[in-house]
Chain A
Amino acid sequence: MSVEQLSPVAAPATTGAPAPRSRNGGRDGRWWIPWLFLAPAIILFALFKFIPMGNALVMSFQDVQPFLGNKWVGTGNYATMLASEGFHQAAWHTIVLAVGQTVGSMALGFALALLMEGQSRKLGFIRSAAFLPVVVPMAVVAELWRIMYHPTADGMINSIIGLVGLGPSGFINDPDASMASVIMTGIWRGAPYDMMIFMAGLAGVNRDLYEAATVDGASRWRRIVHVTLPGLRSVFTILFVLAAIRGLRVFTEVFLLTNGGPNGSTEVVMTLIYKLGLEQNRLGVGAAGAVLLFVATLVLTVFVYLLRRKENR
């Protein structure tokens, strides 16, 4: 070990303050060591993520014809995408679906978390049961709901709502009910996930505050509003960002339940990109749609991040 390397540590020791780290951590000759440790991840990410993403960006400016050679078309693909009525509708549906699923899952997840908070052993079992929808593969969930949504009066959900004089509804087969039905499926699947995160958050809320509120005569409802909710603010932010991103990228449930139909009432951006890029083989236009979706997700994330930073200040 050289003298220079020792000196930054030695100097502050006399003042008693914690040692400030120098910019290079005193390892000037071996700057590449951290990169070496990062290399496996960087190489894998580059190969399977960053380079394909870069390719997609390049493709979004091209007429993609792998064999004849791609042609540059400038912003033509973006113009096609942005001008098409289908994209506007899909974007709107995506927002509706994302908001519906996010709000629904968070509300239901929060309610479930409040109900299942506690130490009892039985609760553990119920919690696992409630968490089941999250671990079931989406393809199975979609098939399950397709059966439950059977559009005749003897369909499962229809026969239940028939007991109270409602229905029969067409659910995913009815353009007016299809979006709500897809949102419903999403909530059923997403809520338990939110529940778990809420429960982790609930454990961190200061018990003393509950006791103080009870002593002050606060009702159960007021305790939730004035103690629990403020205590979970950071959890809400995280969940909101995660759910919103998940909502914008929604694909599997829509693809399997309705494939955007009936009458395009559930077409979302991802199903549209799939149709344009992979089914119609217009990879350039599809890539442009994917880039637009990425930008939207990025903007949303940055926006929430900034909002949160402002709040914390």
Chain B
Amino acid sequence: MRTHAKYKVSCLLAAALVLTGCGSGPAGGDVEQDASAPLELWTRTTPGGPGEQGTIKLAAAFEKATGHKVKVTAIFDDFETKMQQRAAQKDLPDIVMNDVAQLGTMQSQGLLREIDLSKVAAAKDVSERALAAGKAVDGKQYGLPYSAQATALLIRKDWREKLGLKPPQSWADLAAMAKAFTEKDPDGNGEADTYGLAAPLSTKRGYASWYFSNFLWAAGGDFVADAGGGKYKPAMSTPESVAAMQWFRDLGCKDKVIQPGAVTMDTPPTNETFEAGKAGLYVVGPYLLPRFDKALGKDKYEVMAMPKGAKSAEVLAEGGAVYLMAGSPNQAAQDAFAAFAISAEGQKIGMEGEAAYIVQLPVNTTVDIAQVRPDPRWKTFAEAYQTSGRYAPSLPNWTPVRQASAETVNALVADCSLDLKAELGKLDTKLAAVLTEQGIAAS
């Protein structure tokens, strides 16, 4: 009798396992369209924060302009995981506003539908650079960037003036300034407690690689090089990449001008390093300006474009994109929202406000940032983006590339006795395996 009961219970459990484990049918397909269906919009920002308010403002303006209803949901922690859960239920939100770097992952998982640019009127006004960032490896448009940002150099102006230095024009000037900030006691407290460059070099979320890309690309190096036809090959051991790594590593290992503990710091502690007056140089995006204005004071630091490296002044470009998710019952409204977000009107609404703005730099070339934000520092960022902004390529999954390279950058700065070329060679082997796994390795 008891064994019988036991058997029943285990059967039940097994059945439950089978049901949940194997309940995955074919995806997507054509969904019946309903022109009055409200749009569900997910945005990756802190719930209740200014980013959410900004998105709600944009959605309200869109509703007023087109009549389509939008429900905004802000999610920050585990955004991707939560989206995977919705994907497993075959019920994705209609619109997702998330990093442009997520394009490859979402597209290769079949979560996105292609954007027909002919249905998006304002697309002709969008900068080439931004449009290109919304294309997947197959060359098709899957995302529409609505906000851009590029990095620029933040300098402690008071320190620079105290030491009588000119703004850096080259990487040599930059290194010399970092050295002076470290050695010449720019804060005048009589202690050797200041450093040149603030750098988040933890492997967390690949920060080390993210930061280093500002230096790598300008020196002519690359993580993976485009070999044409949607194929890539590893490029971290090319002479240019080696030189870039050597230069950057010397800042930490030879000159010792990077803040101590950098190799275990992600962005929050690094930001504190800069605002607490422990480091005088920082390469970051414009989103930190409000924070540093408040913590440090607007007069204490200045913003300038990164000086030109061996090849160019290329800096990391990033930003948010509008994604039209697969399986939506209201594709017409999806198209309309994408069009509105990148239109001159949508961009201006996105940029308004002191804190609740969701558009950092406009992607629409007809919008002049100086008119909406008179602060000239924004102009500096905008110019850096337009002339030298460079996005990470839209591989099917960029994260493994970023993580592998972050580990190597972190290792080389943490352990100054490592053989640089050998480590970069090892990294290339890893990158080759990553590319092969994603089916985009050049033979």
- Partner among B25, B109, B205, B411 whose Cβ is within 8 Å of the Cβ of A65: B109
Tell whether, in the assembled complex, residue B193 and residue A58 are in contact, meaning their CB atoms are under 8 Å apart.
Answer: no
Interface residues in A161-207 by Cβ distance below 8 A to B read 172-176
Residue contact A67 to B264, C-beta cutoff 8 Å: no
A152 contacts across to B, CB distance below 8 A: 193, 260
Whether B81 contacts A278 by the Cβ 8 Å rule is yes
Collect the chain B residues with CB atoms within 8 Å of residue A50's CB. 13, 17
In the complex, what distance in Å separates the CA atom of A281 from the CA atom of B264? 23
Question: Is B13's CB under 8 angstroms from A46's CB?
Answer: yes
Cα separation A275 to B203 with both chains bound (whole Å): 10
Q: Which of B1-60 contact A (CB under 8 A)?
A: 1-2, 5, 9, 13, 16-17, 20-22, 24-28
Binds A, one of B84-92, B146-154, B211-219, B364-372: B84-92
Given A67-B92, A280-B397, A281-B399, answer yes or no on A261-B264 (Cβ-Cβ < 8 Å).
Answer: yes
Contact B202 A261 (CB under 8 A): yes
Docked CA distance A65–B88 (Å): 8
A69 CB-CB contact with B under 8 Å: yes
The residue from A154, A263, A279 contacting B411, defined by CB atoms under 8 A apart: A263
Select one of A35, A69, A174, A282 contacting B25, CB under 8 A. A69
Q: State the CA gap A263–B80 with chains docked (Å).
A: 27
Binds B, one of A24-32, A224-232, A234-242: A24-32
Docked-complex contact A262 and B16, CB < 8 angstroms: no
Considering the complex, give the chain B residue whose CB is closest to the CB of A25.
Answer: B2
CB atoms of B415 and A262 under 8 A apart: yes
Question: Are B264 and A259 in touch, CB under 8 angstroms?
Answer: yes
In the complex, A32 Cα to B1 Cα: how many Å? 10
The answer on a CB contact under 8 Å between A263 and B415 is: yes
Q: Is A310 an interface residue (CB 8 A)?
A: no
Q: Which of B2, B16, B87, B260 contacts A51 (CB 8 A)?
A: B16
Residues A54 and B87 in contact in the complex (CB < 8 Å), given A262-B264, A279-B399: no
Does B397 lie within 8 Å of A32, measured CB to CB?
no
Complex alpha-carbon distance, A278 and B399, angstroms: 11
Which residue of the partner chain A has the closest CB to B400?
A: A280
In the complex, which residues 43-100 of chain A have their Cβ closer than 8 Å to any Cβ of chain B? 46, 50-51, 54-55, 58, 65-70
Q: Could you say which interface size class chain A belongs to? A: 35 or more
A51 touches B414 (CB 8 A): no
Question: CB distance B403 to A275 under 8 Å?
Answer: yes
Contact code string B399-428 (vs A, CB < 8 Å = 1, else 0)? 110010001001101110010000000000
| Given contacts A67-B87, A69-B24, A263 and B111 within 8 Å (CB-CB) | no
Q: Is the CB of B27 within 8 A of A68?
A: yes
Chain B residues whose CB sits within 8 angstroms of the CB of A68 once the complex forms: 27, 109-110
Does A121 sit within 8 A of B, measured CB to CB?
A: no
- The answer on a CB contact under 8 Å between B27 and A69 is yes
A173 — which chain B residues lie within 8 A by C-beta? 260-264, 414
Check A31–B2 contact: CB distance below 8 A.
yes
> Chain A residues with Cβ under 8 A from B414's Cβ?
173-175, 261-263
| Given A35-B9, A261-B264, A264-B407, CB of A66 within 8 Å of CB of B88 | yes
| Known A24-B2, A280-B400, A281-B84; further 13 A-B contacts with Cβ < 8 A | A46-B16, A51-B16, A51-B20, A54-B20, A54-B21, A55-B17, A66-B87, A173-B261, A260-B407, A261-B264, A262-B263, A275-B403, A278-B78
18 sample A-B contacts, Cβ–Cβ < 8 Å, listed by A number: A23-B2, A46-B13, A54-B21, A58-B21, A58-B22, A66-B87, A66-B109, A67-B92, A68-B109, A172-B261, A261-B203, A262-B411, A263-B411, A264-B407, A279-B403, A280-B403, A282-B397, A283-B84
- Seen from chain B, the residues whose Cβ lies within 8 Å of a Cβ on chain A are 1-2, 5, 9, 13, 16-17, 20-22, 24-28, 78, 80-81, 84-85, 87-88, 90, 92, 105, 109-111, 193, 202-205, 260-264, 266, 326, 397, 399-400, 403, 407, 410-411, 413-415, 418
